[in-house]
Structure 1
Amino acid sequence: MSDLVISLDLELFWGVADSRTVEGYRKNIEGSFAAIPRMLSMFKQYDVCATWATVGMTMCRDVNQWMEMQPEVLPTYARGECSSYTLLQKVREYPNLFFNRGVVEKILATPGQELATHTYSHFYCGEFGATPAQFAADLACAQRIAAELGVRYRSIVFPRNQTRPEYLPEVAKAGIQVYRGNPNHWLYRDGHVTPGGIAGRAVRFADTWCPLTGQHVGKPVRHDGLVNVPASLFLRPWSPGLQGLELLRLRRVKKAMAAAAKSDGIFHLWWHPHNFGLDPDQNLHALELILQDYQRVRDQYGMRSVTMGDFAANEAA
């Protein structure tokens, strides 16, 4: 049996605060608030499940709750700007870019959608100075805020795809069973870090349109009480400067999905909701074409739409 897995990294500005400015990226975040209900409606229309890996801080009601709800141990990153706890001034000035419990409630109210954790603070396991003990404290805080919404996590997506083996025991201890690993290719194994410098980044970029690294058909990997459901492709957002390559971009996704369907594998597509914050009509049109093609391979090959959490040991088919 083949599976379509969709996971979305719901971060708001927490996920880009160390690399973007408010002035340069606020439209992407604000635009995602309108795009997310449209995505949910589309998933419902096409009977597609999705996993929404959400930064726990986004679920705080306001800055006061955020200040009160902190883990027992804060991260000690060598690069202090990576810590969400240094953002107090921006959080006070632009709270709508950091908090939106309402959008999470919309996700939970939509059939077939799973709320997973993207850690509480967008925790960087690959950042020098971070420790597993700090990560464990962060996960405990993520679980506390989720419990307010009646959620018990089954799945996790590591921020920046920084999956590190020394942190996985803490995931298991927290009762989380499933994580999104990276594609099994040297160009992607280390998450957001691209080997090969400029050449490696160029190959990754071109891989969006041409299958230079293969189709990335996945299989669940079970170990030490956890299940790795590896990513296949990142759904790069529509770009006005690259619209002439749009058919190639969609063909890349569809061929990879078909390859998984034919081989009883997993096609795991992921993106950030803020990737749809600009040009939402074009991005949602592309998503609809992909979902329509999913229906075709579902009818032809029996592909299922499942969440990451559906691979948990006590729920696996």
Structure 2
Amino acid sequence: MNESTNGYLVISLDFELIWGVFDTVEIAQKSEYFLNTRKVIPKILKLFSDSSIHATWASVGMLFNDDWAEWVQNATKVKPEYANSMLSSYDYGDSIKNIGYRDLCFAPEIILEISNTIGQEMATHTYSHYYCLEEGQGKESFRQDLVKAIEVASKMGIELKSLVFPRNQIRKEYLEICSELGILNVRSNPDSWYWNDTSSSGLTTKIARTADAYIDLGKKMYSYSDLKSTNGLPLEQKASRFLRPVEFNSFLRKLKIRRIKKEMSYAAKKGEIYHLWWHPHNFGDQPEESIKDLSKIIKHFKFLRSKYNFQSLNMLELGDTVI
């Protein structure tokens, strides 16, 4: 492993549109929300490009389809048979494909725009927003899902080397499949008790994850030496902080941004890694205010880059520094 004397900011975005939340929202009520998401992505890319910010965009493979006919054609032979059928993106797609909603379900033109922007890595969020910890799925359906994600990306000239597990549901035994299929990096979860069970919906866990955005519930930065790749498996890169959507409470909003900036400063001064992540659709309700908050974060990064040589890397680039 190379020794690193400066710190790194790593940004990853989980690009999903409706495929990440269809079990929790009504699509007919979220049209403006997802159309705003599509419109805000070029603004995020411009901010990144203007400030030389590198980022990883982990995209659901179904977004690579151009229309419902292509979506049907690209269905895998073995699908996850979740005990909770409400989680199946295939069942959901079948229920709405005759209605339309093309721009809320597919985005190959946006994917090309992202991949053509300097410093942006196109990664995978699995093909079907696959839930690795849910009852009713298994290794073969996961393998076919990941093969399909790689296939649809390859047709667009994109090689997938990094992966983010949907809803952060990491299954250790699936890492071998990732490695076999050429995935070099995966995003893992923070070393905090409230992230130990990613499928937990308990009140205590929810309160802790929310409160952590505003008050100190433990260190989120980590040292370069903590990056570990075991027995040829993908390199696990721990997430640090989820950038929550803009709050309606101005005090909490300021507190959140101040906390992120403080953590970035610590990483820059100590030569550590700070991994910030969010979903583009988190900007869907208040896109302009969300861009303002992101601009503040980037402005602080540029100060840290100038003073401490704090660097911006995407997941693939960070992985490439580890030998």
TM-score (structure 1 length as normaliser)? 0.95
Q: Match of 1:227?
A: 235
Structure 1 counterpart of 2:69, one-letter code: N
Pick the aligned partner of 2:51 from 46, 50, 58. 46
Aligned to 1:281: 288
Q: Summarize deviations over 1:248-294 as a string: whole Å, max 9, x none.
A: 11111011111211222210000000000111111000000000101
Residue 198 of structure 1: aligned partner: 203
The whole-number CA distance in structure 1 between the counterparts of 2:200 and 2:9 is 26
1:186 and 2:167 aligned = no
Offset, 1:238: 0.3
Query: Deviation at 1:316?
Result: 4.2
Aligned counterparts of 1:298 and 1:48: Cα–Cα separation in 2: 11
Q: Unpaired runs of 5+ in structure 2?
A: 1-5
- Are positions 1:90 and 2:96 aligned together? yes
Tell me by how many angstroms 1:237 deviates.
0.7
For residue 153 of structure 1, the aligned residue among 140, 152, 160 is 160
CA distance in 2, matches of 1:159, 1:214: 24
**Aligned AA for 1:230?**
K
SS in 1 for 2:188: coil
Given the alignment of the two structures, is residue 138 of structure 1 paired with residue 154 of structure 2, yes or no? no
Please report the RMSD computed on the Cα atoms of aligned residues, expressed in angstroms.
Answer: 1.5
Q: Does 1:248 align with 2:264?
A: no
Q: Deviations over 1:217-264 (max 9, x none)?
A: 354222122211110000001022x22222211111011111211222
TM superposition shift of 1:206: 1.3
Q: TM-score, normalised by structure 2?
A: 0.93
* Counterparts of 1:192 and 1:10, CA distance in 2: 20
SS of corresponding position for 1:123: coil
Question: How far apart, in 2, do the equivalents of 1:137 and 1:211 lie?
Answer: 41
Cα distance per residue 1:79-134 (max 9 Å; x no partner): 11111110213133222210111111110121110000000000000111111111
Q: State whether residues 154 and 312 of structure 1, in contact with CA within 8 Å, keep that contact through their aligned partners in structure 2.
A: no
User: What SS does structure 2 have at the residue aligned with 1:47?
Assistant: coil
Q: Tell me the secondary structure at the aligned position of residue 187 of structure 1.
A: helix
TM-aligned CA deviation for residue 209 of structure 1: 1.1
Secondary structure class of the residue paired with 1:111: coil
Residue 23 of structure 1 deviates from its aligned partner by 3.1
Cα distance in structure 2, aligned partners of 1:290 and 1:91: 39
Q: Quick one: which of 124, 133, 149 aligns to 1:117?
A: 124
Moved more, 1-10 or 295-304: 295-304
CA distance in 2, matches of 1:249, 1:91: 39
Residues 6 and 50 in structure 1, CA contact (< 8 A), matched pair in contact too: yes
Match of 2:304 in 1: 297
Q: Distance in 2 between matches of 1:220 and 1:26?
A: 40
Partner Cα distance (2:163, 2:50) in 1:
26
Instruction: Verify: 1:22 aligned to 2:22, yes or no.
Output: no
For residue 243 of structure 2, what is the amino acid of its counterpart?
L
Q: Does the Cα contact within 8 Å between 1:9 and 1:53 map onto a contact in 2? A: yes
Matching residue of 1:236: 244
State the 1:176 CA deviation: 0.4
Residue pair 1:232, 1:269 contacting (<8 A) in 2 also: yes
SS in 1 for 2:33: helix
| Conserved 8 A contact 1:18-1:81 | yes
Q: Does 1:166 align with 2:152?
A: no
Residue pair 1:4, 1:306 contacting (<8 A) in 2 also: yes
> Is the 1:62–1:99 Cα contact (8 Å) retained in structure 2?
yes
How many residues align structurally?
313
**Aligned amino acid, residue 60 of structure 2:** V
- CA distance in 1 between counterparts of 2:299 and 2:305 reads 10
User: How far does residue 214 in structure 1 lie from its aligned partner after superposition?
Assistant: 2.8
Say whether the 8 Å CA contact 2:9–2:275 is kept in structure 1: yes
Identity %: 37
Query: By how many angstroms is 1:199 displaced?
Result: 2.5
Runs of 4+ in 1 over 4 A off after TM superposition: none
What is the CA–CA distance in structure 2 between the aligned matches of 1:265 and 1:229, rounded to whole Å? 12
